[in-house]
Structure 1
Amino acid sequence: MKVAIYCRLSEEDKDKRHVTDDSESIQNQKSMLIQYATEQGWEIYGIYSDDDYTGADRSRPEFNRLLEDAKHKKFDIVLCKTQSRFTRELELVEKYIHGYFPIWGIRFVSIVDNADTENKGNKKSRQINGLVNEWYLEDMSENIKSVLTDKRKNGYHIGAFALYGYQKDPQQKGHLLIDEEAAEVVREVFTLFSQGYGKTAIAKILNEQGVPNPTEYKRQKGLRYQQPESQNSTLWRYYTISAMLRNEMYIGTMVQGKYGSVSYKTKQNRPRPKETWYRKENTHEAIIDQELWNTVQRMLEEKAKPFATGKTGIFAEKVKCAGCGYHMRSTKTKDRYYLKCATHHIAKDACEGAFISVKALEDAVLSEIHRMSKEYLDIETLEKNLKLDTDIRRQQEQCEKKIETYQKKQQTYQKGISQAYLDRVSGILTEKEYLELTEEFRQGKQQSEKLMESEKKRLTELTERLEKGDERGKRILKYINPEFLTKEIVEELIDHIVVGKKSKETGEIPVEIHWNF
């Protein structure tokens, strides 16, 4: 018999010499289980060990590898210290221990609580263990929430990692100390912005200096930080600078609770309203003095996106670079406004970059709207080009005819069922003949009902397409030959715009408009 040993430890390991080592608790579990397997005469197929994971975490890597190997019947037995080491969720107990494992021919054994699926008599005990563990998870979740809420209200830092610029105080739990190496970068960011440098320009300066961004900095310091798997994730970006400049943590105010968990059974979080955040002033030493902070906040409020039509900008969040796919950033040179690739201007090697003046983009969009206005000005031409008349209306008529045919068939089948009943009462049909005949009628009726419902659904879809097409025409006609672009026109008509790099041969800038219709 081949046995797979599974170990798990949920608490943060304090007895590790290195992050890749096993904790002593895991080592003890392994020793106990290996000894037990040896005494039973079982061959150890492999040891699966999840260190620092909760019993409610379904994304445990070794746990999922164990299930995959069990599915392929690579071993005969799963051995754990307790059932709760395998899972604390009653749902997973039923799904795997009582569900899939018997189908896969896998026996489950846990030593301490004496769970063994080979012993049919203790199934209720395993279910009770699962129920107790489920209650434990729920109660523990509520208790932890209560404790953490109290700590947040009192200004104790409870995050797994300190904010960039700080480090956890090894002498005082929940307290932050300044990390001078990172704090220097934070001060530089605030100072540069106060001197008039834009967020993209600051990101570019830091990238050119080779300064690792916050994520990369944590990784280099050996912290077990999950680095986002995104393109150029080691680069400083506009958004990172923007978030830093508005973070009150840098003036000594502890701000927590921006996100809240969806459920104790998942690690998914969702944003919480700003009024529900926990704020506590003077909890740690400030990196940025109040005067510089006030200057930066005032500049952030006053600084408008450099578009000719106001603060929001008619193309805000609408224009993307064809090279990297990121939204293009706005900039101003003298009295002219431009859009530029965010990636290229923070690291030139990362993207060849796109660049276009706002005026040129406005002209390109207006020109296309004018072309469409001229093309679709005539309603008949509009319907012809949008293929809303002949084809769709013909399909509608076909659907209506099919629906009428299926309705007649249903009536015929229903009459047949009624006539068969009369023939059975009159003795013309035997009971067996009556049942066979009516079953055929019922099946025919059901089939015609399904076909009729399918055609009704298709008729609805065709009607919606026709109405959508009419709406498309109305949208275009609503904005015939505008003299200038407005935010309303852009929002109504355009989903997004893709801008490419200027051609060296023709001097033209590729502009691809994706409409909302």
Structure 2
Amino acid sequence: MVRRIFKLCMEGYGPSQIANILEEDKILVPSAHYKSLGISYPAPVPENPYAWQSRTVADLLSHQEYLGHTVNFKTYKKSYKSKKKLQNDPSKWQIFENTHEAIIDQETFDIVQRIRDGRRRRTPMGEMPILSGMLYCADCGAKLYQVRAKGWTHDKEHLVCATYRKKGKHLCSSHQIRNVVVEEILLAQLKEITAYAREHEDEFIEMVTKSSAKIKEKEIRDSLKECEQSKARVSKLDTLIEKLYEDNVEGKISDERFMKMTTSYEAEQKQLEERVVELQKNILQIQERSANIDAFLNKVHQYTDIQELDAEIIRTFISRINVYAAEKVEGKRRQRIQIIYNCIGEFQPPKHKKTA
């Protein structure tokens, strides 16, 4: 049942639609299911044991327990006298990984979370565009903000950098790009990459493996460089603090000046030391990470003929889209976008290969 709910979400069904499907197929709600097994459950069995609620479906889609993990401290009580449970902030949860058999694999879970994060609600202007929440500014990292208006046709809808829109052009440029332009590029790229992966599978695997290795090597090299620079600065600050102490003892600087400067240096040191720990952890994660080519190929074989984009297809294949500032080249406007695919990262099929 859980696998089916996740599959329905991947197919583009929302919680309300999934709830209706489960009810029509006479699938017991969790409380009724547990009762049928003789297991106690905190919620009562409804009059209609097949009456699924959209909230129940949405909650199930976010449970990390289905990955094989144990999640503690999701709720708390204000005092031992209180019977009411309150929801804890996810940052306060304690997660113990791989404590039992997984029902859902990590890749499926991550895609479903992206679909849920980018879910589109009905508004007075209709459903939100399928690209909502997927595009990012390549310069400042902020999401691109969807711009729409009543009476606009789809070709007028566009996106701009949220930093530019909300904080001003002095912090970032607009990075404005029309929805239809991105959709046309995505459709063409997806058709090209899926066709190439199907028709030249061995070459595709080899290219992705090499590309992934190069990206990992660069990321590790950059992280190591920053780590060494941070360590050198920490050491330099030690020398500066020691010199300040000597100058203060000799009366060359006042106690007030000494305290102000040492406080500033120590704060910088602490920041740098924390960054070093973060970088070292990041290096280990990069070393352990590998392209999940099999997972990507499984998706390719599921979608053999992509003719039109929808939210499910976009979030199944794509992790994020980075949009660069537009430039004028020989009097013409040019704008680059970078597509980061799930499982394999950035990838461009070779141009000389003919794909159907």
TM-score band by shorter chain is: 0.3 to 0.5
Larger radius of gyration: 1
TM-score by length of 2: 0.33
Higher relative contact order (CA 8 A, sep 6+): 2
